[in-house]
A and B are shown apart, each in its own frame.
Chain A
Amino acid sequence: MPRVTPMSPAPVRIAAAAICGGFGVLLARALLALPEDEAGLAPLIETNLEASGVKHPITAVLLNFRGYDTMLEIAVLVLATIGVLSLTVARPGTWAPVAEQADPVLSALARFLAPIMLVVAGYLLWAGEHAPGGAFQAGSVIGAAGVLLSLSGYARPVWVTRFALRAVIAGGFVAFLGVAIGVMSAGGALLEYPAGSAKTLIVLVETLLTISIGAILVSLFIASASPAEELRRRMEENR
């Protein structure tokens, strides 16, 4: 069907340019009016870093001081995944095995790289405690490994059922929520880790988050792009 390269009418474009330009000027003035050399919350974070259970300030902010931000963030990620999966669930065959049809060089490279990427993810997860890294970075590497495998023609293994996949996707959020409710029922505030066990709880939550985020990113990619389905469709056309 014909497709028109879309463009709004000229009056709309001029009005939008005027509004956006004016807003940009206001934004720039507000940014330049910020006080120089303001310490912000950095000293507060520095003072309490000892009690947070981890040694890296950003991880301490994400998993301890503002843990509810991270909990809601993973909730948003899970919700988006539920939305994407329910939009694509009507089409069967998305997960059909097509490994035997894949490019042999590409699939050999993916087989070689995927275990290394898993090791890198494990390292990033462990490094997040004291250096740049953490659950989301590690999860993205797992997600990238999954995307690479899926682009090279590898399908979801048969033993990973739909239920298992959904359980892993929800697992990180459920664990986070469980810890939050657990410390609340033990008399603390929301996500106020008891002294001494902060590190254990953070590592537990981060590990489960990593696995969940990896599964979520792969599911989002496959549900949106469905390369396996695409490959199979092309195969059937060529037949």
Chain B
Amino acid sequence: MTTFAGLSQTDLYALAGAALFVIGLYGLITRPHLLHKVLALNISSGGVFLVLVGIARRVPGPVPDPLPHAMVLTGIVVTVSSTAFALALAKSIYTETGHAVLEPDDLEETGEVSRG
């Protein structure tokens, strides 16, 4: 199997997945805009799927473990459902309050003001 810096291909996929998960987590915490939060959640989910698909390949032989693959398929559908519901909630928050940000008073003013 191809290796890179002592890491096998499956390790690289799993580590890239872990990195994506952490990037999404950071975005979820630090971005108050609801659309950013939904996007960050999706990046995290993508990381989880990459980890699962990566470690499914650790089995000996040419065929990967089908169980993590089935779990990824289930996970994609759950992500789609939660994304759709989160977007609908964000849209109604925007319709009701005029902004799509949680606790807008706490925000640091960055000076970047655009017409919404």
Contacts and interface: CB of A to CB of B under 8 A. Distances in A.
Contact of B70 (A5, A9, A62, A76): A62
Contacts of A42: 59, 61, 63-67
A58 B70 contact: yes
Contacts of B31: 6-8
Interface stretch (A11-19, A148-156, A177-185, A187-195): A11-19
Interface in A36-70: 36-42, 45, 57-58, 60-62, 66, 69-70
B27 to A, nearest CB: 9
Nearest to A29: B18
Contact of A87 (B77, B88, B114): B88
A217 to B, nearest CB: 8
What DSSP secondary structure best describes chain A's contact surface?
helix
Contact of B15 (A19, A31, A35, A62): A31
A77 interface: yes
Contact of B81 (A12, A77, A134): A77
A3 interface: yes
Nearest to B24: A20
Contacts of B108: 7-10
A120 B100 CA distance: 39
Interface size class of B (residues with CB under 8 A): 35 or more
A75 B54 CA distance: 28
What DSSP secondary structure best describes chain B's contact surface?
helix
A84 B19 contact: no
Given A80-B84, A136-B77, A34 B55 contact: yes
Contact of A80 (B15, B22, B73, B81): B81
Contact of A88 (B21, B66, B78, B88): B88
A192 to B, nearest CB: 18
Contacts of B29: 8, 12, 16, 19-20
Given A45-B66, A80-B84, A2 B113 contact: yes
Interface in A176-216: none
A171 B35 CA distance: 31
Nearest to B108: A9
A4 interface: yes
A138 interface: no
Contact of B60 (A10, A23, A39, A136): A39
Interface string B24-49: 01100111110010000000000000
A73 B77 contact: yes
A101 interface: no
Interface string A74-87: 10110111011001
A27 interface: yes
Given A3-B115, A5-B114, A31-B15, A24 B22 contact: yes
A4 B113 contact: yes
A14 B70 CA distance: 37
Nearest to A213: B77
Interface of B: 7-8, 11, 14-15, 18-19, 21-23, 25-26, 29-33, 36, 51, 55, 58-61, 63-67, 69-71, 73-74, 76-78, 80-82, 84-85, 87-89, 91-92, 98-99, 101, 104, 106-110, 112-116
